[in-house]
């Protein structure tokens, strides 16, 4: 039996089944989409990463080391991160150590069989005189590399703290380390090639571990890299720039100061700001553990934080953002005309799904890319409207407004409900019914006087009626019932078997329960059900009708519960199921009429961020410093 066949890192990716048939641009787009999921996977491990940073920094403070060990790509990434610490943080080259199965030569050429020996892992740790004061981080995408398992088991026996970095949810490594970090990125575009998404996730994790631990040790001043070692022209220039930004000296004076301080950036900053000679500044830093802020505070100096950047204000510009659990779309537009100047795409920004840090980073990434697309440097704009999933509660709103204030993104900040964006983009006056049917489903309404209501949105286990997931799941269930002879024959059986690259219908069981077909992947097969319905498959057509009716009932419930007019009601439709299928849309609108709701104008909204631009332009004409929040 193949020992790797059940590993998530070895599963086939349904999105890349036709990889060898793609054009170059299609291949690039596919890989970029897949890579876009990595940040969210790493963000899911935020608690474990924080715990690891605490453990590493505590042991660093006691003179301990961080030792990475891995094989192949995993080993190379560990060696790379270790090698980058001394020039970045002026750390001792022995403070972060990278071990790779097969030794130094394995960095450049595979050493066959080295990773299969647990004893080699022990031998390598013995050679560097491992102690209980060290941290050993085993890196193995599959979580089963013998070299790594042998090493961490040996480390635990000696009392060292052990970490594991894996890319599977259930691994052997998890069971033998003190703390496991497991960003699960799913199947690779090229099956089994873990140098791709798994490698990227591992690099992000290692970057976070060493950067976080070094910052905790006082090797930054604000976000300035003040403990770097200027060993080349680029780093000499960076050191000069950092000193200038903290002291207001010109380039020549900063160079002279650095020379007097032996090239030590932290010493130069403290010496200048506190008017001390370099030796005294160095001694004061040593007293405070090398941290600039407490050193300056002890000397009575007013500046105890790094200087912040002041942004130019462009009141003629606005930003509109639509952020969800998959992507964040940011539009930069002119306030007066609404003309979109640039569009930027960031990762998922639903803070309930990916965490605050990852969510806010996605917003910044989207904004940066929108300005880049417009050919402009990022500035503070007049107004921003953010329609974000996951911020309906006050604590979520506080997070977003806090981020907006720190990042100086706009003079006026408005946070709006998903519904408000859709209605602004898809109805004449911003009120009416908004229905979303994508992977999930929900219905929103807004009354003419601005009150919001909703129906649905209970998630894929409790609701999501009429969504892509429920369409595909109903199709899969019908295929199974048809194969058992309980319902009439349907083309769904062979269609799903072919689409999922299976041999026969019973293979659906392991594919769905143990394979790569998670909620998102299943939802991606909704077009198959819709296509067969359009082609006359009776079972498929009945599924489409039933799901459309259920969605219509949800929408009608939102309308009636909130007292909106049932005749001539403005309707905005969003989500791939509703916007891409005319058949489904027709059944949905028929269902609305059956429920007693007569739609007026019906508008398809394929870019909800346009609604955010509309709202940002409105708010920009009201007053600065406005903070709005969705009503519920």
Q: Which two tokens stand for residue 238?
A: 């960076």
Half-sphere exposure in the Cβ direction for 559 (13 Å, CA): 25
Distance, CA of 34 to chain centre: 12
Beta bridge partners of 599: 569
CA dihedral sign, ordered 419, 422, 426, 427 = positive
Q: Strands 380-388, 410-416: parallel, antiparallel or unpaired by DSSP?
A: parallel
Instruction: Compute the CA torsion angle 277, 279, 283, 285 (nearest 10 deg).
Output: 60
Phi and psi, residue 328, nearest 5°: -125, 120
CA dihedral sign, ordered 251, 257, 259, 264 = negative
Which residue among the candidates 26, 34, 94, 115 is catalytic per the annotation? 115
Q: Are 160 and 135 in contact (CB under 8 A)?
A: yes
Q: Tell me whether residue 598 is one of the annotated catalytic residues.
A: no
Q: Are 429 and 448 in contact (CB under 8 A)?
A: yes
- In angstroms, the CA 180 to CA 331 distance is 39
Q: Tell me whether residue 84 is one of the annotated catalytic residues.
A: yes
Q: Which residue has the tokens 């022990």?
A: 122
- In angstroms, the CA 428 to CA 431 distance is 8
Q: Which two tokens stand for residue 385?
A: 């409207």
Among 136, 105, 133, residue whose Cα is nearest residue 122: 136
Q: Which two tokens stand for residue 571?
A: 């309707």
Distance, CA of 445 to chain centre: 30
* Buried-state track 339-370, b at ≥16 Cβ within 10 A, e below 16: ebebbbbbbbbbbebbbbebbbbbbbbbbebb
Among 608, 614, 612, 626, residue whose Cα is nearest residue 413: 626
Phi and psi, residue 17, nearest 5°: -60, -30
Q: How far is CA 100 from CA 61, 78, 126, 302, in A?
A: 26, 8, 14, 48
What does the DSSP 8-state code read for residue 104? Answer: G
- In angstroms, the CA 266 to CA 21 distance is 55
- In angstroms, the CA 555 to CA 574 distance is 13
- In angstroms, the CA 116 to CA 13 distance is 27
∠482-488-492 over CA atoms, to 5°?
Answer: 50
Which residue among the candidates 17, 26, 58, 84 is catalytic per the annotation? 84
- In angstroms, the CA 129 to CA 63 distance is 14
Helix or strand run (H / E) with residue 70: strand 66-70
Long-range contacts of 485-492 (CB under 8 A, 24+ apart): 487/539, 488/538, 488/539, 490/532, 490/537, 490/538, 490/539, 490/540, 491/532, 491/535, 491/537, 491/540, 492/528, 492/529, 492/532, 492/537, 492/539, 492/540
What does the DSSP 8-state code read for residue 311? Answer: P
Q: Tell me the catalytic residues.
A: 84, 115
């Amino acid at each position: 039996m193949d020992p790797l066949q059940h590993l998530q890192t070895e599963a086939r990716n349904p999105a890349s089944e036709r990889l060898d048939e793609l054009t170059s641009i299609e291949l690039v787009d596919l890989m970029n989409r897949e890579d876009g999921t990595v940040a969210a996977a790493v963000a899911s491990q935020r608690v474990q990463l924080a715990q690891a940073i605490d453990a590493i920094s505590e042991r660093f403070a006691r003179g301990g080391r961080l030792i990475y060990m891995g094989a192949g790509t995993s080993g190379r990434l560990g060696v790379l991160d270790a090698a980058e610490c001394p020039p970045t943080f002026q750390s001792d080259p022995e403070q972060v150590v990278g071990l790779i199965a097969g030794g130094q030569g394995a960095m450049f050429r595979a050493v066959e069989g080295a990773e299969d020996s647990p004893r080699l892992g022990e031998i390598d740790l013995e050679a560097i005189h491992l102690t209980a004061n060290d941290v050993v981080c085993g890196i193995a995408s599959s979580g089963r590399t013998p070299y790594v398992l042998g090493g961490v088991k040996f480390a635990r026996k000696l009392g060292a703290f052990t970490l594991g970095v894996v890319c599977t949810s259930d691994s052997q490594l998890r069971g033998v380390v003190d703390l496991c970090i497991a960003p699960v990125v799913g199947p690779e575009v090229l099956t089994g090639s873990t140098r791709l998404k798994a490698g990227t996730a591992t690099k992000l994790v290692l970057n976070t571990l060493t950067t976080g631990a070094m910052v905790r040790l006082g090797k930054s001043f604000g976000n300035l890299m003040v403990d770097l070692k200027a060993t080349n022209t680029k780093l000499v220039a960076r050191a000069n720039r950092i000193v200038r930004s903290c002291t207001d000296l010109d380039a020549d004076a900063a160079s002279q100061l650095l020379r007097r301080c032996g090239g030590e950036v932290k010493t130069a900053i403290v010496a200048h700001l506190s008017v001390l000679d370099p030796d005294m500044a160095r001694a004061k830093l040593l007293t405070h553990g090398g941290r600039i802020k407490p050193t300056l505070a002890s000397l009575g100096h007013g500046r105890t934080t790094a200087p912040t950047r002041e942004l130019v204000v462009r009141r003629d510009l606005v930003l509109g953002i639509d952020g969800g659990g998959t992507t964040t779309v940011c539009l930069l537009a002119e306030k007066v005309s609404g003309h979109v100047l640039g569009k930027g795409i960031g990762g998922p920004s639903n803070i309930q799904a990916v965490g605050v840090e990852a969510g806010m980073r996605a917003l910044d990434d989207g904004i940066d890319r929108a300005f880049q697309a417009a050919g402009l440097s990022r500035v503070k704009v007049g107004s921003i409207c953010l329609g974000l999933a996951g911020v309906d509660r006050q604590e979520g709103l506080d997070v977003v407004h806090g981020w907006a204030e720190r990042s100086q993104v706009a003079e006026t900040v408005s946070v709006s409900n998903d519904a408000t964006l859709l209605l602004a983009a898809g109805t004449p006056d911003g009120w009416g019914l908004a229905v979303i049917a994508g992977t999930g489903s929900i219905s929103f309404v807004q009354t003419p006087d601005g009150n919001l209501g909703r129906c649905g949105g209970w998630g894929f286990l409790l609701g999501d009626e009429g969504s892509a997931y429920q369409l595909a799941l109903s199709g899969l269930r019908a295929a199974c019932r048809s194969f058992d002879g309980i319902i009439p024959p349907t083309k769904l059986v062979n269609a799903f078997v072919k689409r999922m690259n299976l041999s026969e219908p019973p293979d659906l069981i392991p594919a769905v329960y143990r394979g790569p077909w998670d909620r998102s992947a299943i939802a991606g097969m909704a077009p198959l059900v819709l296509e067969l319905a359009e082609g006359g498959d009776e079972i498929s057509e009945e599924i489409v009708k039933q799901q459309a009716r259920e969605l219509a009932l949800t929408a009608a419930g939102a309308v009636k519960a909130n007292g909106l007019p049932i005749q001539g009601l403005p309707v905005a439709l969003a989500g791939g199921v509703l916007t891409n299928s005319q058949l489904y849309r027709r059944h949905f609108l028929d269902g609305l009429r059956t429920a007693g709701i007569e739609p007026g104008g019906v508008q398809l909204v394929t870019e909800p961020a346009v609604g955010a631009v509309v709202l940002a332009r409105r708010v920009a004409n009201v007053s600065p410093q406005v903070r709005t929040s969705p009503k519920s």
